[in-house]
Structure 1
């Protein structure tokens, strides 16, 4: 009986299938890592076409003094990333950052033994520059990895433990571009070791934005600043800021909620001096004069960079309808620098409340009266003759509401008096915003400004407001009766002018509203 060949054939088929299956697994794994995750491969990923972890670039003038080359016998042009690493732009950036880091080493802010992190570095030039000058323990993070220099990570959620790094660097004005600069700054401070150094390149070109930047780092001490030339036309010059993490948390002058002391910094006083002049003489036609004056207003956001603020808030005190000022003026005309503001509409008149239900989430209605404490108040509405109600889209015929009306009677013609809830506006403001936020306020409260403004000073809440548009109410000349003033308000124009002057002398950028 002749021996059968069935078993060897079966064994060969099994081995061949196992080999094909192994090749299939490698191909699938390679496609997943490169195509799906967008990361470079290493040996652990079963990939053989990626940038080796031990690849050693040689950049002219960056430490070795020889021409640029690629390692491991790979032909230029066979790998797009490798071509990028040898491009003139990439090498120029490496030279730039090498010079920056060498200066920091000579000044004692960086050492070859520093465990270093580069935040938001898409191509890893900063990381390579650190390694090239001898800071070997360096890594970068970006939303898309570029191994071995950069791993996947976000500057707003750095993938490392607290107190990990001796040195953290953020170049390319990344903090300027952040939609959440406070989170960005907090993550840098969190992962930096106590007494470690953070170096950031920013485009802050005014004292307001510079101080706003420092306020973001409440655990770091400002050490040094210098202006340096950038390495491309998009950043002709930048500011290099050096911060040192303190063992104890600093407050940079920020007040606690219970602290009523308030001192306006000098850089805000300088901005007030640049504001449009106040109207010193009482205008004969105040509504027309003040409306025209708004064309002369020098908005704060047109004078300074507000990029380093944590949130952007508009508070409309005495908002009336949505279209009265929020929709018609602030949303359309106020220069916001492409920032998203959240608006608070404070309006006690219930006639206007319904239309706010239809508005977007960026507006929050507070259906109460801004006052100096929490208590029930009388609220008087003086309607124009013949106007019984106001439509949802038109509020021109609706009289302005006043709290604590003077000599009002429930049955008086064209007067409506309701009981409403007043709240301590100053305390609400202190619990809603911080000095890290950019806060714009419009106040039209029918004479109550003479109560609210002093309360803001008393509680220190005035320091939380960056810019105020204030309508001051006084006993104006009556149109019907020449030589006679209205008795609706007790204050004079001179007292209004004193209120505006006191605000500006205290460093508050206030504008005359109509």
Structure 2
């Protein structure tokens, strides 16, 4: 007897059941793939699980696009140290949420999120639209990006957080925060500013933001840190300084800690002034200068490289491991050749002056002594030809407006050190710096003031080279300090 032939309806039912089962299996795997795609895809409008690695920058509401294959929990995440760090930042963010600086629907970014503990803390507190950036990616919490170039569009973030280590280019970082943060958005930073100078230098980097509050607190390892909360607002850029400037109070505080000026004229200035240099309190030994855009040293009246750049600034001045741009301003052409082979030094072969004009450069020597080029004397610049018995020792040189040049080269966000030895021209240059507002660009100045000092060679006789008195020099130093400039007496 032949076996019964299955009815078409039964066969159809079997096929439908098999197809349904297959679809169910695919759906489950599909759901698992979505679930494992990583937290960074949760808040993205794009279907990021279709891609292993998508571009980060985009328009509209798209912020974080990151695909993931088979994610696994890193061993680091299972350690007690990891959990302790997450809990620390969780407490920080809970305070910020309570104060209204951070909302559950905020698009949040953690900068230099080394292992992502701060990102996870945000997500555990309900801020699911959060991601971190660091040089090294750590999916799904951190994407790879420079802290000076975030992979997000302009005004796309509501909240940014950074636990700042010393930054190589802090100004570029601050500009990127200003670019990516929305108007009304908040930037929170933990910095190690130990003094008022460093704290205010940090604030000055963020021209787009207003300080909301700051507080001192314990860091992860109990090291003191300062938490700063800033809000992005429409603010006018400072741009170039006008003819007047106001030196902030924190710079004036530094002056109170500086060495005292010598009130009485020294009988042996060549000894007293050199001794005084040992008492100098350098700004960089009193304050943190880490949060500056650039570091610039300007030697006005530099003479040869070894005169002060090589012998003093390079060897003695405390630089806090910062690389300085060096400008040597020297009108005497005798010294120009030496600078051609000096890397990192820019020579300006002109005389610092109060305006752009041709000047006369007078070489000074002792009467009765023959001048040779190798032992060329000190020179003075004058706007009119001097009456001198040594007419062959007067050169024509080009002078330039030093104050205007300084305003075109540096900004208030830079750290600027100036040494000035200009054979009496300081009585013209300093007033112009004050009147033009350029003086506010100088953080520290070492000034040699030239006066009719007692001569080393001839007891009881004063030098006929300069007409100013020591009292006038002291008045110049005092005026600078009253204007908030940290000035030191140079020899």
User: With structure 1 as the length reference, what TM-score do the two structures score?
Assistant: 0.80
Residues 360, 385 of structure 2: 8 Å contact kept: no
Distance 1:203 1:481 in 2: 55
Distance 1:423 1:52 in 2: 58
Q: CA deviation at 1:386?
A: 4.0
**What are the ranges of 5 or more consecutive residues in structure 2 without an aligned counterpart?**
1-47, 54-65
Which residue is 1:120 aligned to? 112
Which residue is 1:475 aligned to? 452
Residues 169, 293 of structure 2: 8 Å contact kept: yes
Q: CA deviation at 1:237?
A: 1.5
Which residue is 1:420 aligned to? 397
Which residue is 2:381 aligned to? 403
Distance 1:450 1:148 in 2: 63
Are 2:410 and 1:433 aligned? Answer: yes
Distance 1:309 1:482 in 2: 48
Are 2:239 and 1:249 aligned? Answer: no
Aligned counterparts, 1:300-379, within 5 A: 300-360=283-343, 362-379=344-361
Q: CA deviation at 1:284?
A: 1.4
Change (3 A) 1:250 1:213: farther
**What are the ranges of 5 or more consecutive residues in structure 1 without an aligned counterpart?**
1-40, 56-71, 73-78, 391-396
Distance 2:457 2:173 in 1: 60
Distance 2:460 2:254 in 1: 39
Which residue is 2:204 aligned to? 215
SS at the partner of 1:130?
Answer: helix
Distance 2:417 2:194 in 1: 22
Are 2:218 and 1:229 aligned? Answer: yes
Q: Residue 238 of structure 1: which of 216, 225, 228 is its match?
A: 225
Which residue is 1:444 aligned to? 421
Are 2:190 and 1:198 aligned? Answer: no
C-alpha deviations, 1:349-380, integer Å up to 9, x for none? 000000100100x2110000000000000100
Q: CA deviation at 1:128?
A: 0.6
Distance 2:473 2:293 in 1: 33
Are 2:278 and 1:288 aligned? Answer: no
Which residue is 2:4 aligned to? none
Which residue is 1:381 aligned to? 363
Residues 243, 435 of structure 2: 8 Å contact kept: yes
Q: CA deviation at 1:478?
A: 2.6
Q: CA deviation at 1:42?
A: 7.6
Change (3 A) 1:186 1:406: closer
Q: CA RMSD in A?
A: 2.2
Residues 380, 405 of structure 1: 8 Å contact kept: no
C-alpha deviations, 1:365-411, integer Å up to 9, x for none? 00000000000001001245244122xxxxxx321110118884465
Q: CA deviation at 1:466?
A: 0.4
Q: Residue 92 of structure 2: which of 91, 100, 124 is its match?
A: 100
Residues 220, 250 of structure 1: 8 Å contact kept: no
Change (3 A) 1:429 1:405: closer
